[in-house]
């Protein structure tokens, strides 16, 4: 602080090789403890090379402004420290001391990758939104929210489909679904909505008729709905599968045969298809 005059009029330069959110929040929290209406916060984010450091430091007024930074790249952080010292500017490292402490306690080296905090927050947000979508937005009989789905699952009545949808949601993937039944009209505007949902992966579910028949019968008995026993007949299941197959082909679905696969295996196959689609596009 030697040489810095007392003043209520200065700038705080927030510098980060990530979003700068951490340092910015800390500075805001500290300023709330004071009435300093003339103090400005200048935020510089995604700083990735030395030239940017030099350019920013050229704007800092010596013995007046201060620098607060979160720079995880060691080379850039060292450049910033040297520049501040050479120019006689106060520079406070918000993240570095804690990272160094954890490094010593754990005997591991930090990754030095900027933006990890933001990515972590984004993943949590995606996961929560996907779970909300699975529980509230996707009904199986309406297409009103399908354009928001990452995956659109088309299937005839299959007792375990909800497991796939929730497992995908846990990974931050919004999965909508449509139940196909030859005795019910298709949802209105299905083709139009699917056409608009160009970002969505269309997946048609198929399985061995006898396998699905056994699953249906098991669920019908568990629910005590013996009046629906006809839905579990092999002949009925075959008819529904043929009906669905024609729709899959018309809409250009990726068709997955999930006979005797676990929920985890089915989800992994869907994830593989998502990856392949991303690689193609």
Q: What is the structure's pLDDT at 255? A: 93
Give whole-number Cα distances, 44 to 13, 16, 27, 192, 206, in Å: 8, 6, 14, 45, 52
Match 């009906």 to its residue by tokens.
243
Cα(266)–Cα(260) distance, integer angstroms: 10
Say if residue 131 is in the same domain as residue 68.
no
Backbone angles phi, psi at 207, to 5 degrees: -160, 170
Cα(265)–Cα(160) distance, integer angstroms: 13
Say if 2 falls within a structural domain: no
Q: Name the DSSP class of 63.
A: T
Say if residue 179 is in the same domain as residue 249.
yes
Say if 186 falls within a structural domain: yes
Say if residue 60 is in the same domain as residue 132.
no
In the chain, the number of structural domains is 2
Say if residue 151 is in the same domain as residue 222.
yes
Cα(211)–Cα(59) distance, integer angstroms: 71
Cα(173)–Cα(187) distance, integer angstroms: 23
Say if 39 falls within a structural domain: yes
pLDDT greater than 80 at residue 231? yes
Say if residue 216 is in the same domain as residue 250.
yes
Q: What's the CATH code of the domain at 84?
A: 3.40.50
What totals of helices (H) and strands (E) does the chain contain, helices first?
10, 8
Contact at 8 Å (CB) between 157 and 241? no
Mean pLDDT of the chain: 81
pLDDT greater than 60 at residue 179? yes
- Looking from the CA of 237 toward its CB, the CA atoms found within 13 Å total 19
Say if 266 falls within a structural domain: yes
Q: Which residue, 67, 93, 114, sits at the end of a domain?
A: 114
pLDDT greater than 50 at residue 252? yes
Each residue of 106-158: pLDDT tens digit? 766 665 555 544 454 455 556 656 566 665 655 544 555 677 788 888 888 88
Q: What is the structure's pLDDT at 51? A: 92
Say if residue 255 is in the same domain as residue 224.
yes
pLDDT greater than 50 at residue 204? yes
Q: What is the structure's pLDDT at 14? A: 93
Contacts of 16 (CB under 8 A, 6+ apart): 22, 23, 43, 44, 45, 46, 47, 69, 70, 71, 114
Say if 192 falls within a structural domain: yes
Quickly state the pLDDT bin for 246 (edges 50, 70, 90).
very high
Question: 79 vs 2, which has greater pLDDT?
Answer: 79
Report the run of H or E that residue 176 belongs to, with start and end: strand 175-179
Say if residue 129 is in the same domain as residue 27.
no
| Mean pLDDT value of segment 38-67 | 91
Say if residue 85 is in the same domain as residue 152.
no
Q: Which residues span the domain enclosing 106?
A: 11-114
Each residue of 55-98: pLDDT tens digit? 999 999 998 999 999 888 888 999 999 999 999 999 999 887 77
Contact at 8 Å (CB) between 67 and 42? no
Report the run of H or E that residue 270 belongs to, with start and end: helix 263-280
| Mean pLDDT value of segment 243-251 | 91
């Amino acid at each position: 602080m030697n040489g810095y005059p007392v003043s209520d009029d200065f700038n705080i330069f927030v510098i980060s090789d990530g979003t700068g959110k951490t340092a910015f929040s800390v500075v805001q929290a500290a300023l709330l403890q004071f009435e300093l209406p003339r103090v400005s916060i200048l935020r510089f984010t995604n700083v990735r090379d030395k030239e940017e450091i030099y350019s920013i430091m050229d704007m800092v007024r010596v013995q007046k402004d201060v620098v607060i930074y979160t720079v995880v790249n060691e080379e850039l952080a060292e450049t910033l420290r040297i520049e501040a010292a050479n120019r006689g500017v106060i520079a406070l490292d918000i993240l570095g001391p804690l990272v160094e402490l954890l490094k010593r306690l754990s005997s591991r080296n930090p990754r030095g990758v900027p933006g990890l905090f933001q990515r972590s927050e984004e993943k949590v947000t995606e996961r929560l939104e996907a779970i909300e979508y699975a529980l509230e937005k996707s009904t199986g009989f309406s297409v009103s929210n399908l354009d928001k789905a990452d995956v659109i699952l088309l299937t005839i009545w299959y007792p375990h489909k909800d497991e796939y949808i929730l497992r995908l949601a846990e990974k931050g993937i919004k999965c909508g679904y449509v139940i196909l039944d030859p005795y019910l009209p298709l949802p209105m505007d299905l083709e139009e909505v699917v056409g608009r949902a160009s970002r969505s992966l269309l997946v048609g579910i198929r399985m061995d008729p006898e396998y699905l028949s056994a699953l249906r019968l098991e669920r019908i008995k568990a629910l005590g709905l013996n009046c629906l026993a006809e839905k579990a007949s092999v002949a009925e299941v075959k008819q529904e599968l043929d009906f669905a197959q024609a729709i899959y082909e018309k809409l250009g679905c990726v068709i997955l045969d999930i006979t005797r696969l676990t929920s985890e295996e089915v989800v992994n196959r869907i994830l593989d298809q998502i990856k392949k689609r991303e690689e193609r596009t």
